[in-house]
Structures are given as structure tokens and as C-alpha cells.
């Protein structure tokens, strides 16, 4: 699994630093179930979706989850320490989060983190894990946390995107169907960034919610590969969506998942609830790699992913390793743009 199978070298100019405008003007590579490829633009998705198909999207909304704070000096001889906090998983209440911290070695359980200028207390460090992650508790009222993050937090854009965290970029790093009340992702479900309201209005669309966190944006460790488990992410498969998926299947339609997070939501529901009409809610650590089957998903809309990522391994499982390499070679040769703000692909599952 940790071999050249999932590594490729991408020329820097192929990394997209800004999204295509308008949204549906991005390139899209269509790969049919036999491996045939056609170069299209995203708006052509309307010609690829069939009458009884259902398109499943992840309606989770990105939050400004990166904070710059200070740990005040612990004693008279100590010094203040500036820290960067990345909230990446809510722990069941608005105030309690799992987070990454830099510099991790300077932070311990019991520390209090404050705003840099005013020194207003913001977070208490409640626990520190062996892997360096910390559990933090907000010290401001639950009802004010979202407003605080909007004002003081930064959108955690991937490090390969070289742009400012402006209001325009924040808006563009959000799908048009991201729902108020479904806030919680710390990275966008980027396959959905190409959809427009007009395209959505002409498709049979159903929603799931997976709050995108470390299970998606971190490359898997050797231990995670061996255990076949990613970092946990919270999923909700609504009963209404479950019923519509089952209805579409019964009618002979396909389940088309928009992005790896939608796919992992659907496949988690299928595995952990046995495709219950009641839907399913819970944590998923589902890690799909070559050799794994798919219980529900027939087609996948997805961008072009980083080398050595669990997302690339999922694509290899879906279309086959050899075909995955052919797809990426084709995309590089024809000037497709890669990663979060990059171009799209519509992949039919290999037969």
C-alpha cells in the first residue's frame, strides 16, 4: 500500500490556486465502466446522468477552523507562546473539539489559550493525546462560538493553495448546497464546488452530511493502512435519503456520489446499518482501498487527488489501479488542473 502505486509527480503549474469561473466551466474527464475516456466540461454532467439516477451530495458546511492564539507565560521566568490551533472534530457539544496544535511541544493539559491582543481567554486544553492532538473547551458561551469563529478564525485552505482568506475565497470554498445548520467541516467537499443551482435543479439530488476532518485531508499512516481505519468523521444519512436511494436502485437507477465523502457516507450506511430505511448516524473510519467492494455506489464525481492519499486509494478501488494511473496520466497530459480548486472527473465503477 505504501509503494509507488499511489505516488506520482505533478508539475507545480497543474495545481489550481483559484477555482474555475463560472463554477460549471471546469473541465471534466468522463471515464465509462470499460475505461473509455472523454474530455468534457462540468456542465455536461447533465448528459451523463440518466432518468432514474440519484445524485448524492455532502451538505456539510466549512467553518473557519484555524485560530491564532497565545499561551500566556506559566511563570515569572517564562514567556508567552504563540500557537496555531486547527479544530478538526467536534466532540459532541458546541464547545468541545479535537484539534491539532503548533508548536505542540509547548502545549500541555491545563493550559489556557487567549486572544493575542486582548488576552481574553478562549480555550482550555482539557487533554493531550499521545499523538500530539489536544482536546479543547471553548470558554465563551455556546451560542457565540460560531460568530467568534466567523470573526476570528481562518478558513483552513490546503497549504498548496496560495491565496488569501478573503470573503470571496471563503464563499468559493463552499458548495452552493452547503446547509446552514450543517456547519462542521474543516475542509470543503471539493467535488461539489462545480455545481450550480441551475444544474442541481435538473437532477434528482439527495443529501448526506459528513463533517470533513482528518480522515479525509490527512494522508494515512502505515498503522492506519494496516488497521484499515482512518480518523473518525461524523456522518448523518437521513432516513429520507436512504429511502430515495433504495427507491432509485429498485427503479434501475444508479447511485452517483459527489465526492469521496458522499461515497464513504453512503457505503458506511450500507455496511453499518445494512441499508436500513431508517438511515444511519454515527462515526465512520471507513478506509476503502483496492480489494474492497462497493455495496451501493455506481458512479463517482471527484476531483484529482494528492499522491499517497486515502482518496487516491479509494479511486483505485473504484476503477482499478491500472485505470487510475491511466486517468491521471491523461489528465496531466491534457492540462487538467488538480486538487481542491481543480477540475473534475465522472467515473463509472469498473465492471
Q: What is the pLDDT of residue 77?
A: 58
Q: CA-to-CA distance for 264 and 31, rounded, in angstroms?
A: 20
| Residue 72 pLDDT | 87
Closest by Cα among 184, 188, 156, 159 to 172: 188
Q: What distance in Å separates the CA atoms of residue 30 and residue 150, rounded to the nearest whole number?
A: 37
Long-range own/partner contacts, residues 2-7 (CB < 8 A, 24 or more apart): 2/222, 2/225, 2/308, 5/316, 5/321, 6/307, 6/308, 6/309, 6/312, 6/313, 6/316, 7/307, 7/308
Q: Which residues are CB-contacts of 221 (< 8 A; sequence separation ≥ 6)?
A: none
Q: What is the pTM of this model?
A: 0.95
Q: Measure the CA dihedral 209/214/220/222, to 10°.
A: -120
Asked whether 286 and 295 are in contact (CB, 8 A), the reply is no
CA distance 238 to 240: 5
Q: What pLDDT, on a 0 to 100 scale, did the predictor assign at position 179?
A: 96
Of 156, 158, 152, 200, the residue nearest 179 (C-alpha): 200
* Residues of the chain below pLDDT 70: 1-3, 75-77
Domains belonging to the chain, first-starting first, are 4-62+166-348 (3.40.1780.10), 66-152 (2.40.10.240)
Tell me: cis bond preceding 103? Omega within 30 of 0 counts: yes
Q: Rounded CA gap, 89 and 212, in Å?
A: 8
Q: What does the alpha-carbon distance between residue 108 and residue 131 come to, in Å, rounded to a whole number?
A: 13
Q: What angle do CA 156, 159, 160 make, to 5 degrees?
A: 130
Residue 279 in 3-state DSSP? coil
Q: Residue 2: its pLDDT value, please?
A: 53
Amino acid at each position: 500500500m505504501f509503494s509507488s502505486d499511489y505516488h506520482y509527480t505533478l508539475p507545480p503549474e497543474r495545481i489550481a490556486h483559484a477555482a474555475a469561473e463560472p463554477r460549471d466551466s471546469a473541465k471534466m474527464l468522463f471515464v465509462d465502466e470499460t475505461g473509455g475516456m472523454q474530455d468534457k466540461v462540468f456542465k455536461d454532467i447533465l448528459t451523463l446522468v440518466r432518468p432514474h439516477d440519484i445524485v448524492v451530495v455532502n451538505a456539510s458546511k466549512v467553518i473557519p477552523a484555524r485560530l491564532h492564539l497565545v499561551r500566556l507565560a506559566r511563570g515569572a521566568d517564562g514567556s508567552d507562546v504563540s500557537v496555531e490551533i486547527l479544530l478538526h472534530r467536534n466532540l459532541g457539544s458546541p464547545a468541545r473539539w479535537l484539534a491539532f496544535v503548533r508548536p505542540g511541544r509547548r502545549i500541555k493539559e491545563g493550559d489556557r489559550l487567549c486572544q493575542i491582543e486582548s488576552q481574553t481567554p478562549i480555550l482550555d486544553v482539557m487533554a493531550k493525546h499521545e499523538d500530539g492532538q489536544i482536546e479543547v473547551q471553548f470558554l465563551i458561551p455556546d451560542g457565540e462560538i460560531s460568530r467568534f469563529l466567523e470573526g476570528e478564525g481562518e478558513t483552513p485552505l490546503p497549504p498548496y493553495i496560495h491565496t488569501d482568506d478573503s470573503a470571496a475565497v471563503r464563499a468559493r470554498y463552499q458548495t452552493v448546497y452547503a446547509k446552514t445548520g450543517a456547519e462542521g467541516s474543516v475542509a470543503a467537499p471539493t467535488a461539489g464546488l462545480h455545481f450550480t443551482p441551475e444544474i442541481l435543479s435538473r437532477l434528482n439530488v439527495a443529501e448526506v452530511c459528513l463533517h470533513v476532518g482528518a480522515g479525509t485531508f490527512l494522508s494515512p499512516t502505515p498503522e492506519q493502512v494496516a488497521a484499515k481505519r482512518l480518523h473518525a468523521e461524523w456522518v448523518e444519512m437521513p432516513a429520507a435519503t436512504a429511502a430515495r436511494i433504495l427507491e432509485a436502485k429498485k427503479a434501475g437507477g444508479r447511485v452517483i456520489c459527489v465526492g469521496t465523502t458522499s461515497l464513504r457516507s453512503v457505503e458506511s450506511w450500507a455496511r453499518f446499518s445494512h441499508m436500513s430505511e431508517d438511515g444511519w448516524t454515527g462515526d465512520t473510519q471507513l478506509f476503502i482501498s483496492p480489494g474492497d467492494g462497493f455495496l451501493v455506489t455506481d458512479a463517482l464525481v471527484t476531483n484529482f487527488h494528492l499522491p499517497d492519499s486515502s482518496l487516491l486509494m479509494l479511486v483505485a478501488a473504484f476503477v482499478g489501479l491500472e485505470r487510475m494511473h491511466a486517468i491521471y496520466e491523461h489528465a496531466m497530459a491534457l492540462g487538467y488542473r488538480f486538487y481542491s480548486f481543480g477540475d473534475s472527473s465522472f467515473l463509472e465503477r469498473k465492471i
